[in-house]
Structure 1
């Protein structure tokens, strides 16, 4: 499912216009992005939580030359699925 299909599904489920559903989805994505960027966790009970993690610096290899390269440390985004979401996926 892509974003447009999600907008269509939300509009159909809520009875809103597609424009209103798209605005709501964009607002949700923007709010989650801002919160996680600040270092806060976003927890949606039954669905899951978004948070930040850390990846340490490490040495990698260039696959074409085999030369060692330094890969810098980075922040990562983690999503942990909630129990209800996991149960729904595994019920099939």
Structure 2
């Protein structure tokens, strides 16, 4: 009985640990292969902002590649940013 319990426990532990480890290793290899991973190495230090401070200017592309800058919306009443994954492909 104890032998069956130990075998079942070992199976459950492996069933939980193996997918976690494989996910971590695939995420590391994906991050190393993308050019974005290299670009973040030279990113500037993050600014410390307080409530009421203006957000620093930045530029990001839309889904068609057209760049938008936060500066072009200065003076507008509200600016809402929504970040989402373009396709639900897990990446």
Q: After TM superposition, is the score higher than 0.5?
A: no
Computing the radius of gyration over CA atoms, which structure comes out larger, 1 or 2?
2
Q: Which has the higher strand share?
A: 1
TM tier, smaller: under 0.3
- Of structures 1 and 2, the one scoring higher in RCO (CA 8 A, sep 6+) is 1
- For normalisation by structure 2, the TM-score amounts to 0.26
- For normalisation by structure 1, the TM-score amounts to 0.26
Q: Which has the higher helix share?
A: 2
